[in-house]
């Protein structure tokens, strides 16, 4: 069971492609809601039914609120230590990873993902501070420090039409820096994808696969066979997102959209809202029904992302379909 806790809506960067928007909400989870969030998890999570409990800290930039992170980790450990396997994780822009913060991460064995887009030119083109300065130098320096403690530190890249032509070079740069786990994410909210840029994406993936696809020491998601995921969206059932307001949501991308709220930490999960949501997201889009890779495609399953990206629960973006077919062509299925 996983709980994603949005401890802040604030961020110290203004990344140009951020799905949360460039201008963030400068608000944090209050002490009262934080306390109630812990009580909600205690009431909601049953160690006799689940042997793993994952707590993911989300933002904004979660390390703007390290003290709040410490509060949650201390109290969750106090309640559930020796009852189940406890895991803590976060994704960070890596600009706030002082030695003190790194020591905190190591001490609590946190699973960290850092956001790096590759070379300085690519990274600084889109991952910038509020005054327009690029964040590359600081983000890379801090990420390399953390890499000394965890050789399998995960790097998350964002790929859109502004940097797709540099995908191979950016991945190679990260490999040469010593990173071994690289997860490029395709920006499905980028409206500029077209036939030309999709073909460029395919050629870049083929180059990556040819050079690094057989390496046992690397884990590059674009070089891996597609996993079976089915076409059923279990939003709000196996994972709950707790927004800094105390509202509960079924999925990362819809947090803050009140129409998708499925309860709050005071009253608990509204089962009727989840049932109604499942009714909306269940049927497959007509064009997906006869697709050979529908059971291996996140677009056929992730209906809430489809809703935000296309306005229709059942209609995926073209880039998601194209990417899945490219990965099927290059890597096959498990």
> pLDDT-derived band of residue 29, with 50, 70 and 90 as boundaries?
very high
pLDDT (0 to 100) of residue 23: 67
Provide mean pLDDT across the span 173-200: 97
Reply yes or no on whether the pLDDT at 2 is more than 90.
yes
pLDDT (0 to 100) of residue 284: 64
Reply yes or no on whether the pLDDT at 86 is more than 80.
yes
Tell whether pTM > 0.75: yes
Phi, psi of 11 (to 5 degrees): -150, 145
pLDDT (0 to 100) of residue 282: 62
pLDDT (0 to 100) of residue 141: 98
Provide mean pLDDT across the span 255-270: 95
Of these ranges, 99-113, 220-234, 261-275, 298-312, the one predicted with the greatest mean pLDDT is: 99-113
Residues above pLDDT 70, as percent of the chain: 96
**Under 8 Å between Cβ of 101 and 124:** no
- CB neighbour class for 158 (10 Å; exposed up to 12, middle 13-18, buried from 19): buried
pLDDT (0 to 100) of residue 222: 97
CA distances from 329 to 123, 125, 205, 293, 302 (A): 29, 31, 11, 11, 22
pLDDT (0 to 100) of residue 283: 59
Provide mean pLDDT across the span 158-185: 98
Tokens read off for 55: 């707590």
pLDDT (0 to 100) of residue 328: 95
Residues above pLDDT 90, as percent of the chain: 76
Provide mean pLDDT across the span 136-154: 97
114-128, 164-178, 316-330: range with lowest mean pLDDT: 316-330
> pLDDT-derived band of residue 325, with 50, 70 and 90 as boundaries?
very high
Mean pLDDT, the chain, as a whole number? 93
Provide mean pLDDT across the span 22-39: 90
pLDDT (0 to 100) of residue 289: 80
pLDDT (0 to 100) of residue 300: 73
Reply yes or no on whether the pLDDT at 236 is more than 80.
no
Reply yes or no on whether the pLDDT at 330 is more than 90.
yes
pLDDT (0 to 100) of residue 53: 96
Top-confidence residue, 214 or 288: 214
pLDDT (0 to 100) of residue 221: 97
> pLDDT-derived band of residue 280, with 50, 70 and 90 as boundaries?
confident
pLDDT (0 to 100) of residue 231: 63
Reply yes or no on whether the pLDDT at 234 is more than 90.
no
- Can you tell me the distance from the alpha carbon of 205 to that of 224, in angstroms, rounded to the nearest whole number? 11
> pLDDT-derived band of residue 125, with 50, 70 and 90 as boundaries?
very high
């Amino acid at each position: 069971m996983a709980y994603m806790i949005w401890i802040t809506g604030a961020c110290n960067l203004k990344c140009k492609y951020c799905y949360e928007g460039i201008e963030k909400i400068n608000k944090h989870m209050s002490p009262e809601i934080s306390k109630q969030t812990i009580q909600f998890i205690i009431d909601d999570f049953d160690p006799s039914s689940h042997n793993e409990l994952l707590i993911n800290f989300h933002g904004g930039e979660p390390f703007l609120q390290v003290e709040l992170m410490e509060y949650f980790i201390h109290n969750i450990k106090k309640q559930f230590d020796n009852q189940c396997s406890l895991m803590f994780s976060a994704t960070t822009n890596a600009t706030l990873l002082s030695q003190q913060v790194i020591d905190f991460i190591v001490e609590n064995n946190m699973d960290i993902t850092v956001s790096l887009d590759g070379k300085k030119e690519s990274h600084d083109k889109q991952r910038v501070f509020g005054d327009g300065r690029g964040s590359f130098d600081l983000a890379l320096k801090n990420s390399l420090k953390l890499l000394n403690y965890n050789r399998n530190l995960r790097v998350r890249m964002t790929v859109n039409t502004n940097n797709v032509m540099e995908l191979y070079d950016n991945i190679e740069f990260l490999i040469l820096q010593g990173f071994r786990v690289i997860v490029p994410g395709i920006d499905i909210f980028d409206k500029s994808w077209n036939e030309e840029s999709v073909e460029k994406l395919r050629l870049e993936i083929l180059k990556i696969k040819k050079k690094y696809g057989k390496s046992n020491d690397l884990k590059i998601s674009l070089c891996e066979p597609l996993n079976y995921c089915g076409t059923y969206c279990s939003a709000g059932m196996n994972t709950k997102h707790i927004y800094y307001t105390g509202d509960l949501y079924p999925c990362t991308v819809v947090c803050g959209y009140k129409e998708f709220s499925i309860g709050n930490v005071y009253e608990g999960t509204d089962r009727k809202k989840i049932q109604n949501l499942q009714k909306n997201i269940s049927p497959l889009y007509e064009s997906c029904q006869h697709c050979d890779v529908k059971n291996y495609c996140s677009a056929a399953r992730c209906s809430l992302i489809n809703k935000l990206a296309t306005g229709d629960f059942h209609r995926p973006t073209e880039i998601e379909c194209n990417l899945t077919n490219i990965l099927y062509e290059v890597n096959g299925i498990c």
